[in-house]
A = this chain, B = another copy of it.
């Protein structure tokens, strides 16, 4: 791909570095991590700071991400059509299922949560919008991997890290899980990502019948499962919700 703007690529790398690594990094850390001259790194950081993408702690001189990113990320949500259509349906899903509802899309090598409805019985819950989940172990991720070829590529290239002792880590076994997901039309996660937590998800299609995301519910395994696995009432609720959102996006009836 010709003609990428070098300074922009580097600035993006700086932002990712600040997002991923330690909370705060000094100029020299940034420069050496990215293999840049100090002067170069400083110019990039100064400009990013001026634009609000990066903030500098006055006392220590360390750099961290800036508030403008939060504002822009929020604007992204405003524009997101899938999310807009799903708002009301995921609300219903959380209410009828009694569990937390999630809407996720493929982003890079994982699932990006773009909407999250708290479990109706309140209690302290952390909002996970903007967070990433693995493709190979969560219900949302498996659904995307099964139905979206791009996601399938991503998961095939990465490795299947064992997050709990129930995580599927063998390539062949994982493919058969995807086959099952495709054939029954929904995916599940039985303590494969977090111990004690299970989830169900189903795909959402756009007007061209392409998979564009997944909706699902997540909750404590004691509530979500019965002896045979995921409770069928939850499976039905999730699939209904996915169908409703797809219809709203113009995918027509199934």
**Which B residues are in CB contact (< 8 Å) with A19?**
71-72, 75-76
**Which B residues are in CB contact (< 8 Å) with A130?**
70-71, 73-75, 77
Given contacts A129-B74, A132-B71, contact A46 B4 (CB under 8 A): yes
**CB-based contact A129/B7 at 8 Å:** no
**Which B residues are in CB contact (< 8 Å) with A65?**
72, 75-76, 79
**Which B residues are in CB contact (< 8 Å) with A1?**
46, 50
Q: Which of A65, A112, A120 neighbours the largest number of chain B CB atoms within 10 Å of its CB? A: A65
Segment at the interface with B among A8-16, A194-202, A225-233 = A8-16
**CB-based contact A70/B129 at 8 Å:** yes
Task: Output the nearest chain B residue to A5 by Cβ-Cβ distance.
Answer: B47
Q: Does A36 reach chain B (CB closer than 8 Å)? A: no
**Which B residues are in CB contact (< 8 Å) with A112?**
67, 70-71
| Bound-complex Cα distance A91 to B162 (A) | 34
**Which B residues are in CB contact (< 8 Å) with A11?**
5, 8, 11
- Knowing that A4-B47, A120-B122 touch, tell me 12 more A-B residue pairs with CB under 8 angstroms: A5-B44, A19-B72, A20-B75, A23-B79, A52-B107, A52-B108, A64-B76, A71-B130, A74-B130, A77-B130, A118-B118, A122-B122
Q: List 23 A-B contacts (CB under 8 A).
A: A1-B46, A1-B50, A4-B43, A5-B7, A5-B43, A5-B44, A8-B11, A8-B48, A8-B51, A12-B53, A52-B107, A52-B108, A65-B72, A66-B76, A69-B73, A69-B75, A70-B77, A71-B107, A74-B129, A74-B130, A91-B124, A120-B122, A122-B122
Which A residues contact B (CB, under 8 angstroms)? Answer: 1, 3-5, 7-9, 11-12, 15-16, 18-20, 23-24, 43-44, 46-48, 50-53, 64-79, 91, 105, 107-108, 112, 114, 118, 120, 122, 124, 127, 129-132
